[in-house]
Amino acid sequence: MRYEGKKPKVAIIYSYIPQYRWRFYEVLKDKLDKVGIELVLIYGQPSPKDSLKKDAVDLHWGRKIHNKYFTVGRWVFCWQPVLSIIRDTDLVIVEMANKLLVNNFLLLQNSLGLKKVAFWGHGKNFQAKKTDRFSEWIKRILSTRVHWWFAYNDTSARVVEALGFPGERVTVVQNAIDTIQLKNELENLKPEQIKQIRRETGVTGNHIGLYIGGMYPEKRLEFLLDSLIYIREQISDFEMVFIGSGIDASLIEDMAHRYPWIHYLGPKFNNEKVPYFAMSHLFLMPGLVGLAVIDCIALGVPLITTNGALHSPEIEYLHSGENGVIVDSNGDSKIYAQSVINLLNNEKERLNLVEGCKISSRQYSVENMADNFAKGIERALDK
């Protein structure tokens, strides 16, 4: 349907725009424009911790504000000065996060029937620790106090519905990144370009592992580094490429200085990543897996992780033995390493996983995500 007369106005409030998300907002805005809905994207700057990822971007049509971060004990809270900006909006979509203080004011407005408010998120903190029980209890209570839910995927939707939130007011957005752009870049990549990247990186081996992502404790980088030493002992031409940044980046830098077969390149985004996927055989991430699984599926590099990690909901996209592997390592880095070694020594089995990635890649795209989100917005406005 198309809205005639006064355009409904929808605001999305996000703490900041990470590099992987900007294309989604562009596509979503275009889809909403076509049905007569105005989108207002409001965002600020990352927290000091998130700024270490070096992935923040701006959108010229978005409304940028200045977030105020402050610490109380071990918690970091954020105040987003948005109340005057969203005064005339028909629907406000916010992150489901206790640290975002403005959410409390918006939930009150939703309860009083003054504003339709929707949550967008995982449904719970999949990385929560025992010390986070109180925070998660609060989140469970607040999760049912909104008008609508935009759940990352089916896993998140099940979490939300288990709390008692009605399923007819949940939109599964199928969280994704710009896979079409990645695939096009891979198809247009020439063999000479890959050779050039290998020369620039200093990679000479025939068995290449790759890690691209944030570098923080949940990623289990120490576990991974222990695994790499064992892999190298068994496969003499094995080399590892690390791309990313974060509070644990120094662990990788130190190892790269000690071992010439470990290469640390800092952060790279979007199409910059593609040549490194093209020259790699496996993607090694034993810790938390999130959207990286979609990179791997789109670019045909099987992801190897563990079942002991605190994964995000996107782990449901990885089907062990079909498009990647979830290793039952029992906390033992050598068990994880042996699984990697077995795949590197069995090209037929690895190529079967690559083929599985190609099949899975047809399901996930930022276009599908934006389409799901736009339809959810229309339903939320009309409900």
pTM of the complete model:
0.80
Element (H, E) at 91: strand 91-95
User: Nearest Cα to 40, choosing from 8, 12, 69, 3?
Assistant: 12
pLDDT for the residue numbered 135: 59
Residues with Cβ within 8 Å of residue 153, at least 6 apart in sequence: 172, 173, 174, 175, 313, 314, 316, 317
């029937």: which residue's tokens? Answer: 113
R_g of the chain, CA atoms, integer Å: 22
Q: What is the chain's pLDDT, residue by residue, as a tens digit (383 residues)? A: 666 667 899 999 999 999 999 999 999 999 999 999 999 999 999 999 899 888 999 999 999 999 999 998 888 999 999 999 999 999 999 999 889 999 999 999 999 999 999 999 988 655 445 555 655 666 677 788 999 999 999 999 999 999 999 999 999 999 998 898 899 999 999 999 999 999 999 999 999 999 999 999 999 999 999 999 999 999 999 999 999 999 999 999 999 999 999 999 999 988 899 999 999 999 999 999 999 999 999 999 999 999 977 898 999 999 999 999 999 998 999 999 999 999 999 999 999 999 999 999 988 889 999 999 999 999 999 97
In angstroms, the CA 183 to CA 188 distance is: 9
pLDDT for the residue numbered 224: 98
pLDDT for the residue numbered 309: 77
Taking 3-state DSSP, the helix, strand and coil percentages for the chain, each rounded to the nearest 5, stand at 45, 20, 35
The domains located in the chain, with CATH, are: 9-176+365-382 (3.40.50.2000), 179-360 (3.40.50.2000)
């703490």: which residue's tokens? Answer: 15
User: Nearest Cα to 223, choosing from 347, 319, 320, 310?
Assistant: 310
pLDDT for the residue numbered 383: 77
pLDDT for the residue numbered 172: 96
Question: DSSP 3-state assignment of 244?
Answer: coil
